[in-house]
Amino acid sequence: MKIKLDENLPVILVEKLAALGHDTHSVTGENLSGCTDLDVWRAAQEEERLLITQDLDFSDIRRFKPGTHAGLLLVRLARPGRTALASRVYELFLTEDTATWAGCFVVASEVKLRIHRPDPSDKEDTV
């Protein structure tokens, strides 16, 4: 899977996720730190990468409707320290079928995981 980590995620996840076979980039490593959310989003979409973030600006499922993007994982921990974030994200990629998250809007907390998948009935018919 192709992944982009927002600047609010620990950079150690680049190595950890790469070790699991994922093509992982970070906003920090690409000199996008401090760029607007729109710039980060565009970069992730141009590269067809799942964006992993804690940024609540990405929390509106109407704006980031499943099936209209490469995928979005919003991590919402009560105590989002660097160790907790790295552990939770790594755990998700070890235990969940993340390959099915393409085009999905995913929200993860310490104990819950909500996956909003594209609605097949929203596809346009082609003639």
> Do residues 117 and 101 touch, judged by C-beta distance below 8 A?
no
The ranges assigned to domains in the chain are: 2-122
Q: Give the model confidence (pLDDT) of 58-76 as tens digits.
A: 999 999 999 999 999 999 9
* Lookup: tokens for 75: 């991590």
Residues 21-47 have pLDDT tens digits of: 999 999 999 999 999 999 999 999 999
Neighbours of 100 (CB within 10 A): 13
pTM: 0.92
